[in-house]
Structure 1
């Protein structure tokens, strides 16, 4: 239940000292300290533990920064922070992963080689970012430990391994760490990673390309044929300061189809469905959705926007109605309909014994396990699969369960059902539902669920029953809503 807590647990992970822009920092994985009430640091070979706290957590990139609460001078004595490697490691370069994996109490060092550098989904976040694949073992406890090259420079942070595979581990590369730390140092908080705000489809099929163009020849990229911007006052793209994104555009063929645009993203003000994105950040996009990365390597084009912050602008070349346009796109924050990390404490509303909660990925996992996308009802799995909000504060509200009482006799079998409307009004989010219940003046309150099921409760009797349900089940309050 959302008002209760799970049994207290403890876990161990790794952390290390890093020097960035002249500032000493303690770095670990976000998943290692997520929801932690107590963080203790222990230096190698020593028995004393130092209390610390989390000062910045980036769930998208699975990184967190720690700060000592006490004993800072003693902790830093003799500690030499690592420095970030300025360039991405090459394939087959050697790497050493340091940390405290399961199987012992002392530090462990494993050696491997770089086998791939590519965009990968980060298990703790909801986005894909650049990651380094290595063949060194990464086990529980390695999380948050540094990966070092032959010159003892930090090339990344160990953070996850490929399930059901042997010796395939992943490291968060130095450039992602650099962006995370730079955002914190300049703003004092997590600044995120740029999100382009639309879904796209490859145009590798010749017949599809012909249909998109209506029989016209594929256009050459014409830099500067027209210009516009999401923000008319912003004339300079943030990508202009990034040399890696300044590869000059060249005439050629390629592009991807814009198939769906997130209504809450800045892209909704600029792009349209059936637009063809030809280049981004000065990099031509291939028909498969990739751009040039390194020598003889290509990478998915969202890599370009992931190197920028939300609010930054990136240059686009877009084919629309047979003409090529050069525009500036403002990048946004990812805003999933079903969040992976909902606000704390968990929100809920109890009314007449009915318990309503917002749908989240942790809720899906708690009810149906790791295979929730296969086991959960379609009405709850489908929002997670599409994961696009129609408006900024939209939530999927779920009737989690119904407490037994004389009022709810014959209704307790309703559980894990999506709530669609209350008294004929579409429910926008949990706070909106609470307001609808407070403002209800009719004889009954009508709830419409998925599959067109209806629940009706006498308004005043339901309000009286709510307090009885809270006392019987020892629930501290009738509702808990997030502070906005």
Structure 2
């Protein structure tokens, strides 16, 4: 993801809106007494976060990367525990925090980070400087048309900024940090500017959200979003055991059943209950349970309405919200209809890993293999963005990785991303930006397979077959082995490969 002057994510206008979880309380007139009393000092635990960042280099993955920096906001939630956005501290090499009453910067470090819900916990390396600060208290989900206050350090300023706004929508929508995850979010018309990210949004003296993204001025005016308390509390609950286990997912899509004739044909009894399963991921939580065409009737005894909503904790929310609040290994009950017969199943929830590859990833070194000047890398969004690949086959694999279930046969597609010119690989440059299918008869399903295939030196030639290429790429093994040290020195490559931490 491209760097910004401050670590603030702009929600893209092209993001589709999911079926909303929009409570319908009686509208309350906005009033100043519904927000916090600014004389209460509620912002004492709000800190400015300065971050030095090292962006990974996916074009030359053996390099350290591109240094940069940014700023954001965080706030104290417990003893030496500050909550902020994941995007504020992603790829950080140094973190400094300071309060408005103390200009001295204090080093801090990441304790837990959750990119899928854009939240992170950091702590000061010396907690003594913050012992007298009072942690905030959390509230609940604010009602529509009530006033909230966003507190932070927008545009990298040195002093606290306070802006007021009104809650205008409560919705299930995309989080732009990874570009693939969607969770509950609250829309407000308070100014959410670069640098506000990670700051508290408060009402009645309690935190009701974390500011995290907004629309650009070309799309909408005065529209910002905050991460609500249910998402925050789920993150904090997840990390209680010392590690973050990520969100779980049913990994199935659905369609509304709003046509009366269709409902009758499916054997539904009326009442506006039931959504049809449109697709099921084989590696997902319900991969061996549900089938396309099944009708989901309820989740944990909560009836699923024909528009995909359920009444949960007194409010109408997207049915995924029930799963959202569960954890890896939790079991839920799903009632469904197949062939006119009602059935029930217990579903053990888990993370759907293939989905992660389609989103932006952070805090990790790019993996690669260099051999005879040929650079092999696993396909993911970071790679696509860095190389700006236009090859139709590579784009097809990336765009249809889930929809065509390509991950089943090839869980980690490998791309020949570049060819470092040398006499041993003359005339091979046009092969760059191609999916690697086989190397000496070994089917390439992951980057590890490339290492295995190249390590086998029984054959005098290295034959590489690329997806959608009519002829193989062939190198003479004796020449590649003699050229390898020369290429490594010429291009200043310290290691021929990095396959990830053990």
TM-score (norm 1): 0.84
Q: What aligned pairs does 1:83-162 form with structure 2 within 5 A after superposition?
A: 83-85=137-139, 87-102=140-155, 104-125=157-178, 126-149=180-203, 151-162=204-215
What are structure 2's unaligned runs of at least 5 residues?
1-59
Match of 1:257 among 251, 271, 276: 276
Q: Secondary structure, in 3 states, of the residue corresponding to 1:160?
A: strand
1:208–1:216 CA distance, 2 compared to 1 (3 A): closer
1:50-109 per-position Cα deviation (integer Å, ceiling 9, x unaligned): 111001000011000011112x122222x1111111x21100111000000017321100
> How far apart are the structure 2 equivalents of 1:41 and 1:392?
46
Of 396, 418, 422, which residue of structure 2 is paired with 1:401?
418
SS of the residue aligned with 1:268? coil
In structure 2, distance between residues paired with 1:80 and 1:171: 22
Contact 1:441 1:459 survives alignment (8 Å): no
CA distance in 1, matches of 2:71, 2:362: 24
1:205 CA drift (Å): 4.4
* Rounded Cα–Cα distance in structure 2 between residues aligned with 1:332 and 1:122: 20
* 1:448 correspondence with 2:497: no
Q: What is the distance in 1 between the residues matched to 2:400 and 2:460? A: 37
Query: Match of 1:2?
Result: 61
- Number of the residue aligned with 2:394: 380
Q: Distance in 1 between matches of 2:424 and 2:160?
A: 60
Compute the displacement of 1:429 (Å): 0.6
The question of whether the paired residues in 2 share the 8 Å contact of 1:100 and 1:106 is answered with yes
- Give me the whole-angstrom Cα distance separating, in 2, the residues matched to 1:266 and 1:257: 17
Match of 1:45 among 101, 105, 112: 101
SS state of the match for residue 136, structure 1?
coil
Gaps of 5+ in 1: 221-251, 369-374
Distance (Å, rounded) in 1 between the aligned partners of 2:440 and 2:454: 9
Displacement of 1:387 in angstroms is: 4.0
Partner of residue 247, structure 1: none
> Is this contact kept in 2: 1:180–1:191, CA < 8 A?
no
Match of 1:357 in 2: 377
Residue 238 of structure 2 is aligned to residue 218 of structure 1: no
Distance 1:483 1:74, change over 3 A: closer
Deviation at 1:148, TM superposition (A): 0.3
Equivalent residue number for residue 469 of structure 1: 487
Q: 1:320 to 1:216 in 2, by over 3 A?
A: closer
Q: State the match for 1:479 in structure 2.
A: 497
Identify which of 61, 65, 81 aligns with 2:135: 81
* 1:17-56 alignment runs, 5 A limit: 17-19=76-78, 25-56=81-112
Structure 2 CA distance for partners of 1:261 and 1:411, relative to 1, 3 Å: same
Kept in 2, the 8 Å contact 1:44–1:106? The answer is yes
Partner of 1:64: 120
Report the TM-score, using the length of structure 2 for normalisation: 0.81
Is 2:381 the partner of 1:327?
Answer: no
Aligned length: 434
Pairing 1:292–2:311 present: yes
Name the residue aligned to 2:293: 274
Q: What SS does the aligned partner of 2:66 have?
A: coil
